Amino acid sequence: MSKQIPGKNKKTNHVSSGAKAPKPVIFLLGFFFILVGIFGVLYNPVNSEATGATWTVSEEGILSFPQRGEAAFTVEVTEDLYAPESEDSLKLLTFESRGENVRALLRIPAGSSPASSSPADSSPANSSGAPGIVLLPGAGISKEKEQGLAVELSKLGYATLTLDQRNLGAINPEGDLELYKAGLEPLEYKMVYDALKATDVLSGQPEIDPEKLAIVGESNGGRFAIIACALAPSLRGVVGISTAGYGTGEIDPSRVEDPYVYSFYRSIDPDTYLSELPPARFVLLHSFNDTVIPHEMALGTFSFAGEPKAMYNVSEVTHGYTASMHPYLEEELALIFID
């Protein structure tokens, strides 16, 4: 692992929490300002609370939901077509969230046993279940295609609940802004809520230790993972892979014509929620040569976050999880779940 030397332009594999990061390349700011001008003229603001919506956004841009009810779900054992050599158990779970049935794959590591509530059965293997991770794929990636990473996590001893995100994780900010201004729930808010419900569902599985939960997301899934972790105190930490916020904190609110536009974009920016994360651990894994989300944007997001946090960098010219990230992922999950 190399160290950064003052005055030298040398890349590092690990960014310490005290390192200064350059300002992120906010390539979406121009897009945001264009939207501010357009939608500030076309739409009249509507207060979501006045319309009886089941979500609110604070003046700081923090999204919140009312208390969630008990999680209801169905479970079906399914054939493991994605790692047939594995002895993991694989189940298809379906749960209701915001009027839609969300489907997810629950992978339980081989050898895991249901947590025991019986004092007579207090052996370490049965006294508590496996640590559980909600896994959010990137845009366009199904729960099935994300099983490669789920299998890796299983080999480390972690159970995963991998979601099929709405619209396969793709987003439409313009359409969501229209819904927001009409007092209707944007799709991105529903996707955050899905992740929160998945946390409830995962904690209710007999093989899972409900005291040891975390969330991992790739690319756009990482953005939702960060927001969900900030809103779910039960989560011990979040690992964002090839992801970053939008940098809306760089916008001067006094220059924004329509405050409703500003509050909406703040509410979908993971950077807005970083102050709400502690004591949950915040981890970023990113490539210096990411082909979709510039490394500078990830550095910016990392610089905004408080402790505890860590960032690790690799060099592949790609986007998403790579084998070189494995040791960092293993190390950080161990820290997240440490007693």
Residues 136-185: tens digit of each pLDDT? 999 999 999 999 999 999 999 999 999 999 999 999 999 999 999 999 99
Query: Could you tell me which residue, 113 or 255, shows the higher pLDDT?
Result: 255
Phi, psi of 178 (to 5 degrees): -60, -45
- Domain membership of residue 119 (yes or no) is no
Q: Which residue has the tokens 């690799």?
A: 314
Nearest CA to 19 out of 328, 325, 299, 331 is that of 299
- Domain membership of residue 268 (yes or no) is yes
- Band (pLDDT 50/70/90 cuts) for residue 260 is confident
pLDDT of residue 194: 97
What distances in angstroms separate CA 3 from CA 10, 11, 76, 311, one per listed residue? 8, 8, 49, 14
- Domain membership of residue 121 (yes or no) is no
- Band (pLDDT 50/70/90 cuts) for residue 128 is confident
- Domain membership of residue 272 (yes or no) is yes
Q: What is the reported pTM?
A: 0.84
- Domain membership of residue 6 (yes or no) is no
Contact 221, 165 (CB under 8 A): yes
Tell me the two tokens of residue 26. Answer: 């906010």
What distances in angstroms separate CA 248 from CA 37, 150, 164, 311, 326, one per listed residue? 16, 32, 28, 21, 31
pLDDT of residue 13: 58
Is it the case that residue 52 has pLDDT exceeding 50?
A: no
Residue 86 — left, alpha, or beta (φ > 0 → left; ψ -120 to 50 → alpha)? beta
pLDDT of residue 96: 95
Phi, psi of 221 (to 5 degrees): -60, -30
ω into 279 cis (within 30 of 0):
yes
CATH number of the domain encompassing residue 271: 3.40.50.1820
What's the rounded Cα separation, in Å, for the pair 117 and 284? Answer: 36
Is it the case that residue 124 has pLDDT exceeding 60?
A: no
Domain that holds residue 331: 14-111+129-336
Task: Provide the mean pLDDT of the chain.
Answer: 85
- Domain membership of residue 318 (yes or no) is yes
Angle among Cα 242, 143, 109 to the nearest 5 degrees reads 95
- Cβ partners under 8 Å of residue 320, min gap 6: 138, 218, 219, 241, 242
pLDDT of residue 47: 38
What's the rounded Cα separation, in Å, for the pair 114 and 108? Answer: 10
Nearest CA to 130 out of 146, 149, 151, 109 is that of 109
- Domain membership of residue 161 (yes or no) is yes
pLDDT of residue 70: 86
Domain tally, the chain: 1
How many helices and strands (H and E) does the chain possess? 9, 12
Query: Could you tell me which residue, 317 or 22, shows the higher pLDDT?
Result: 317
Tell me the two tokens of residue 173. Answer: 């900010």
What's the rounded Cα separation, in Å, for the pair 302 and 311? Answer: 7
- Domain membership of residue 116 (yes or no) is no
The pLDDT tens digits for 172-202 are 999 999 999 999 999 999 999 999 999 999 9
The pLDDT tens digits for 191-250 are 999 999 999 999 999 999 999 999 999 999 999 999 999 999 999 999 999 999 999 998
